[in-house]
Amino acid sequence: MAGILDGKKIVVMGVANKKSIAWGCTQALLRQGAQVILTYQNDRIKRSIKRFVPDDAILVECDVSEDKNVEKAFKEIGSKCGKIDGVIHAIAYADRDTLTNDFVKTNKEGYDLAENISAYSLISVCRYAKPILNNPGSVMTMTYFGSTRAIPNYNMMGVAKASLEANVRYLARDLGKDGIRVNAISAGALKTLAVTGIKEHMKLLDMSKALTVNDKSVTIDEVGNTAAFLMSDLSTGLTGDIIYVDKGVHLI
């Protein structure tokens, strides 16, 4: 049976381990017939993901902390793969002190770092992916409910996600004329390695589960399935949107 992504080439940025949302997205894309290109930050992560990604997976280095790295990565992707159909941006970072301290203690260095990696990088990715994106094309990023609510201990990351969501709207406006849509998935709290960096993260996970409509946390597969839809031509009418995949937590 044909998949909704047969013949599509999709770049996934942010796969670090088997528990990451980006890996859930990658698996969903593969199930729907896509060819997937994965970017990695450094050699350590490359060695880690090579243990579980398909042997024929195309891997491209991309540390989004510098524009020149993003530009180089998408030029390499274009050289290896030609035109692509979509990009999934699943990248966020804040240093430990910035994440664990009270928000009022956030310093400029920590603020700038979190904004640069978690929010600005989407702009850079869109700019350098644009020349090789097909029309129609799709870009998607990952956000969280803490962008609009003061979630305990989410702190600076919530502020960065708010910026990211604003970036989605303005990028959707700018790139629409080129047939490129830009959306975000707001996923429920998931037990990933990334969430362990948040102070008292188990309380966050328990709170999120308690607020779902069926007392079951969302899974990376469920998030990935929505990502596959957003990468497909079934979603050409959607742009500039935040799609909640959180089992109803945002209904509070």
Mind listing the pLDDT tens digit for each residue in 82-131?
Answer: 999 999 999 999 998 998 889 999 999 999 999 999 999 999 999 999 99
Average pLDDT over the chain, rounded to whole?
93
| 252 found inside a domain | no
What is the reported pTM? 0.94
Tell me which residue range forms the domain holding 53: 9-247
| 2 found inside a domain | no
| 3 found inside a domain | no
> What's the pLDDT band for 189 if we cut at 50, 70, 90?
confident
Asked if pLDDT for residue 201 goes beyond 80, the answer is no
Helix, strand, or coil (residue 13): strand
| 1 found inside a domain | no
Catalytic residue among 128, 154, 170, 244: 154
The C-alpha atoms of residue 29 and residue 33 are separated, in whole angstroms, by 6
Which residue type, as a one-letter code, is found at position 58? I
**For position 210, what pLDDT does the model report?**
85
What values do phi and psi take at 83, rounded to 5? -70, 150
Q: Does residue 170 have an active-site annotation?
A: no
Which of 119, 249, 110 has the alpha carbon at shortest distance from 190?
A: 249
Asked if pLDDT for residue 41 goes beyond 90, the answer is yes
Catalytic residue among 40, 144, 170, 244: 144
Helix, strand, or coil (residue 243): strand
**In sequence order, what DSSP letters do the residues of 205-228 get, joined into one string?**
HHHHHHTSSSS----HHHHHHHHH
Domains in the chain, number? 1
Helix, strand, or coil (residue 84): strand
Region of 89 (left: φ > 0; alpha: ψ -120 to 50; beta: rest) is beta
**For position 80, what pLDDT does the model report?**
97
The C-alpha atoms of residue 84 and residue 247 are separated, in whole angstroms, by 31
Least confident of 11-15, 24-28, 138-142, 204-208: 204-208
Which residue type, as a one-letter code, is found at position 200? E
Asked if pLDDT for residue 31 goes beyond 90, the answer is yes
Q: Residues 51, 52, 53, CA angle at the centre, nearest 5°?
A: 110
Asked if pLDDT for residue 194 goes beyond 80, the answer is no
CATH number, residue 206: 3.40.50.720
The C-alpha atoms of residue 247 and residue 219 are separated, in whole angstroms, by 10
| 34 found inside a domain | yes
Tell me if 77 sits within 8 A of 50, measured CB to CB: no
| 213 found inside a domain | yes
| 94 found inside a domain | yes
| 236 found inside a domain | yes
Structural element, H or E, at residue 21 = helix 21-31
| Structure token digits, residue 70 | 């993003």
Quick one: average pLDDT of 148-156? 88
DSSP state for residue 147 in the 8-state scheme: G
| Structure token digits, residue 242 | 């935040």
